[in-house]
Structure 1
Amino acid sequence: MDHPRILIMGAPGAGKGTQSANITDAFDVEHVTTGDALRSNDDMDISDLGLEYDTPRAYMDRGELVPDEVVNAIVEKALADAAGFVLDGYPRNMDQASELEDMTELDVVLSLEVSEDELIDRLTGRRVCADCGANYHVDFDPPETDGVCDECGGDLIQRDDDTEETVTDRLRVYHENTEPVIEYYAEQGRLERIDGEQTADAVWDDIRETIERAA
């Protein structure tokens, strides 16, 4: 399949970013995420949407949630500019899923399946260098010296959004808003479930075979 159009879904910590990078390299497609798309189009003119502000930046600078109408418009532009893509982080709810149906036809819909206990372990164990931003994990990828960055010697910290309370709340929001989207694709017979608790290499083997099978 030349330049496939792929949607990858999964809870926070499921490994979407790692596997999306593999997909972009192997299949020569763009990695489209809502965060990157928003940052790349923060001055996009959205005055025709009839919202409070005329650019995405106005919402972001005020720390306000960017409305779905803006996210939809930016994702549509990003997908239109891409010959092929792996879409990561969108749609997050059924309204966005409905919008995506009008934007493009998907070749493959992937869901990385990981248990909640495993997700919590992955996310709460993450540590980040306060100086250079390098990432570690207390179990899966620890630094040579506990609490010290291998790259620059800076202190490793746990980010506020990686505490167990915050992680649990993020997963609750995911279950409420995004799981129905996964079931929507499953009911259509379009969903490919991938065991996300395997090694990263084994997960990638399954993903690559699934995409190639759809060609």
Structure 2
Amino acid sequence: MGKHILLLGAPGAGKGTQSKRLASEFDLEHVTTGDALRANKDMDISDMDFEYDTPRAYMDAGELVPDDVVNEIVKTALQSADGYVLDGYPRNLDQAEYLSEITDLDAVLYLDVSEEELVDRLTGRRVCPECGSNYHVEFAPPAEEGVCDECGADLIQRDDDTEATVRERLSVYHENTEPVVDHYREEGVLVEIDGEQTPDDVFEDVASVVDDA
């Protein structure tokens, strides 16, 4: 039986990077809400009495997919996985309650990163509008400042990476998802990892917890 791992952390804490490494190291499925939604966007939800009959219709309309639909999709993804790393769910306490009904977790990890560090990480991202290459002014800079290594185009900062937008994203996270972290902390199952170490050191800490789970 594969292990059931939940990875929590704010935007910019490194959940995606660590989840992918865990998935390949321990032969687990990397389950993200976004991927699960995309994989099941044509799922028939007509029996759920919602405005639309498929998740795709919500996405096409630019509307948030309701919690109940997200729950069903995550349930489907987890049931088809032998073991998994869950990343980006649960986003709120209702989803955390639902998760406890459909699966047992072997480990709950929280990547702890300070607000200022998160802002630095998220606002430092630069992308190439021509070929889509990603850079970071501090952690992965291009050879020549502001210019794409791959195709020579001028790099841009996305609107959703500006400081005002980043701080707004973090405040939404604190409001909705921080209670989820507190919930697992109160249950005594939360393992806190210093997310400000190098990615390799973070992975070493994360992997040793999963090893023992």
TM-score bracket, shorter-length normalisation = over 0.9
Mapped to 2, the partners of 1:4 and 1:149 lie a distance apart of 40
Give the match for residue 176 of structure 2: 177
Q: State which drifts further: 125-134 or 53-62.
A: 125-134
Mapped to 2, the partners of 1:4 and 1:135 lie a distance apart of 32
Q: State which drifts further: 126-135 or 186-195.
A: 126-135
Q: How many residues align?
A: 213
Residue identity in the other structure for 1:51: F
**Unpaired segments ≥5 residues, structure 1:** none
Give the match for residue 202 of structure 2: 203
Mapped to 1, the partners of 2:29 and 2:126 lie a distance apart of 28
Matched, 1:193 2:187: no
Mapped to 2, the partners of 1:16 and 1:153 lie a distance apart of 30
Give the match for residue 52 of structure 1: 51
User: Helix, strand or coil for the counterpart of 2:17?
Assistant: helix
**Unpaired segments ≥5 residues, structure 2:** none
User: Helix, strand or coil for the counterpart of 1:69?
Assistant: helix
Alpha-carbon offset, residue 125 of structure 1: 0.4
Mapped to 2, the partners of 1:67 and 1:137 lie a distance apart of 34
Matched, 1:14 2:13: yes
Alpha-carbon offset, residue 152 of structure 1: 2.3
Mapped to 2, the partners of 1:213 and 1:174 lie a distance apart of 29
Give the match for residue 142 of structure 1: 141
Give the match for residue 119 of structure 1: 118
User: Helix, strand or coil for the counterpart of 2:139?
Assistant: coil
Mapped to 2, the partners of 1:17 and 1:152 lie a distance apart of 26
Residue identity in the other structure for 2:105: L
Give the match for residue 73 of structure 1: 72
Runs of 4+ in 1 over 3 A off after TM superposition: none
Residue identity in the other structure for 1:126: R
User: Helix, strand or coil for the counterpart of 1:172?
Assistant: helix
Mapped to 2, the partners of 1:14 and 1:55 lie a distance apart of 32
> 1:65-124, CA deviations, whole angstroms, 9 ceiling, x for partnerless residues?
111011001000000000000000000000111111111000010000000000000000
User: What is the percent sequence identity of the aligned residues?
Assistant: 67
Mapped to 2, the partners of 1:101 and 1:186 lie a distance apart of 15
User: Helix, strand or coil for the counterpart of 1:197?
Assistant: coil
Matched, 1:86 2:85: yes
Alpha-carbon offset, residue 132 of structure 1: 2.0
Matched, 1:40 2:45: no
Alpha-carbon offset, residue 159 of structure 1: 1.0
Structure 1-normalised TM-score? Answer: 0.97
Give the match for residue 157 of structure 2: 158
Give the match for residue 108 of structure 1: 107
Give the match for residue 128 of structure 1: 127
Alpha-carbon offset, residue 131 of structure 1: 1.8
Alpha-carbon offset, residue 34 of structure 1: 0.5
Residue identity in the other structure for 1:58: A
* CA-based RMSD: 0.8
Structure 2-normalised TM-score? Answer: 0.98
